[in-house]
A and B are shown apart, each in its own frame.
Chain A
Amino acid sequence: MWEYTDKVKEYFTEPRNVGEVEDPDGVGEVGSLACGDALKLTFKLDDQGKIEDARFQTFGCASAIASSSALTEMVKGMTLEEAEKVTNKDIAEFLGGLPKEKMHCSVMGEEALQAAIRNYKGLEPLPMEEGEVICQCFGVTDKEIQKVATTNDLHTVEEITNYTKAGGGCGECHEQIQAILDELWENAPRPVEVKPAPEKKPLTNIQKMKLIEETLEREVRPALKADGGDIELIDIDGNRVLVSLRGRCSSCAASEATLGQFVQTKLREFVTDDLTVEEVKP
């Protein structure tokens, strides 16, 4: 039997915030049936941009349910900026600790939160999914392993398995995980403090429009043209950027992904990070 804290037992037996937020602003789904646990997190913002309500649905063991419920309690009242900083460690600490073999439950909570925030921003679910899959059994990428190792100061394959499940199936990836850890800790012996990005001055509407046009011209159009397509700026309505795709892009099934992932990322990078891109069908 697992040694669960009273708080884990409490949040498992009487979980708070079960369900789905109606008409949510952000939805994050991580895990799968095959992996044995999964979490769907939904949240809604109030007019101050703070998380007004957060709810969860979890398939998993007691610590997965408790971690999910704890997470929803923790993030209520936070701004997205604050919520983005919540890590699996915070979730585990909130619960008075988790058995080390169950730390992956807290990681699942963090990932669902990240995914939900990214969903709100119109980004792809999780940046680590872009990495190389190291553990085939549980679909864990090198990026995820690096991130969890850095956040939690993990140095052994066993610890990585406890936190991400990677290596917990057939075990064939153990050497690869060790190699990732070796590289990570040789190159950066301690987690490096990330310097906060310099704050951007608010742009006037004219500046913003100009910057959007410039960015589309310089960063986006050449890439689309390389694929035989083009992009046209239709309108800017507050933070909504309305564009139309031309040529090959307009008939491409992947165009929605192209927009969300690529155009928006570029605009957020070079203009302001609260822009959303929408496609207008010609």
Chain B
Amino acid sequence: MSHQHVVYMDNNATTQVAPEVVAAMLPYFGELYGNPSSMHAFGGQVAAKVDQARQQVADLLGASPEEIVFTACGTESDNTAIMSALASQPDKRHIVTTRVEHPAVLNTCEGLASQGYEVTFLKVDRQGNLDLEALAEAVREDTALVSIMWANNETGVIFPVEDIAEICAAKGVLFHTDAVQAVGKLPINLGASAISMLAMSGHKLHAPKGIGILYIKKGTPFVPFVKGGHQEHGRRAGTENVPYIIGLGAACELAGRHLEEENTRVKGLRDRLEQGLLAVEATMVNGDPDRRLPNTSSVSFEYVEGESILLHMSDLGICASSGSACTSGSLEPSHVLRAMGVPFTAAHGSIRFSLSIYNTDQDVDHVLEHMPDIIAKLRIMSPFWQRYQKEECVTPGYVVP
């Protein structure tokens, strides 16, 4: 398969490291190996580069550099935000989040719930949107943190986190957002928002895996999660992962330059792909079409199963993801689609296409050329498709989430 042209449309899983980013990183694996904490100039020159990277990240987010803490990944940032909010406000034992969060937040909150914390998991509607009134009602005096993702990794649905942050601020409650999928795809200006904390991950925007940041708004109470040395102003111990920090800085600068292209050309590719796929019978798009990331499309091909679709796609060099049970390693389909009440006929056959600036018109043509045949081939052998064709009722119908 290595000789085959790869059409990579799985950028919400991970992205290609930009060649510019690799180039920026390389010296720090070689001659520039100093420790930024050292007193000598050899280490000091590295510290200056780390500061520069911090500025590049801050610029993309509309933040101040001292509000940026480098971490190992988005998951660490999410864990840090949640645990810090609890540790800094020991009297408050209630958390508000949603049913569609990434496992980094969802599983952490479920774990806290089993340890005696109270967690409110907010519902979403059929389109994947939150009810802001229900959210406001859920926030209480003893709420330590509201943690809600900026954009959903599976459907791309965007939550109005800036409005939510205002609701929380008015009640004096900390607000954290997992913005792993949003950074680099949406304009973000944290300086003008009431968001207390924000998590991002490098490998979703063309930096390598193993680097993330936590934004901590000035004045936010904070207790470190990783304890030890004084690095990151005592907020995250451990010697700085210098090459990756440099890489993330370079990636953020690139992302700022590509933001417009993401929202014009890449969005155009996504829309053309989606329209083409919807021409296949019994196919639907999951998530509010008007409030979505520009690069993401979750398409359900009813009555066929996602893993089977992905393997046929893979044989043609097309990379995507599925919310089906068989691909998740669990036995149930995506918690996001289930929370939205997507019927089982569609949840099991959901395919997530997530594009990037490296995708081309030819990529979309390639996918559109082959997808109808893949779906047709699998439907021929699906007992439910046969029944659907005979117009017998096979679906349990749309479920109110």
Binding site for B on A (CB under 8 A): 2, 12-13, 15, 18-20, 29, 33-34, 36-40, 56-62, 64-65, 101, 137-138, 161, 165, 168-169
Contact = CB atoms under 8 A, between A and B. Distances in A.
Interface of B: 303-308, 311-312, 315, 324-327, 329-333, 344-345, 348, 380-386, 394-396
A1 to B, nearest CB: 8
A112 to B, nearest CB: 11
Contacts, number: 80
A34 B331 contact: no
A60 B386 CA distance: 14
A168 B329 CA distance: 10
A58 B384 contact: no
21 contacts: A2-B307, A13-B312, A15-B381, A33-B303, A33-B344, A33-B394, A36-B305, A36-B325, A36-B326, A39-B383, A57-B383, A57-B386, A58-B382, A59-B382, A60-B326, A61-B306, A61-B324, A61-B327, A62-B311, A64-B305, A138-B331
B333 A36 contact: yes
A57 B329 contact: no
Nearest to B345: A33
Nearest to B394: A33
A60 B308 contact: yes
Given A36-B348, A169-B331, 19 more contacts: A12-B311, A13-B315, A18-B380, A33-B345, A33-B348, A34-B344, A36-B325, A36-B326, A36-B344, A37-B326, A39-B383, A40-B383, A58-B381, A60-B308, A62-B311, A64-B305, A137-B332, A165-B331, A168-B332
Contacts of A29: 383
Most chain A CB within 10 A, of B304, B332, B386, is at B332
A20 B390 CA distance: 15
Contact of B396 (A2, A33, A39): A33
Contacts of A40: 383
Given A33-B344, A57-B383, A168 B308 contact: no
A24 B383 CA distance: 16
A18 B307 CA distance: 19
| A-B pairs, 4 with minimum CB distance | A168-B331, A61-B326, A61-B307, A57-B383
A37 B383 contact: no
A60 B327 CA distance: 11
A243 to B, nearest CB: 32
B351 to A, nearest CB: 14
Contacts of A18: 380-381
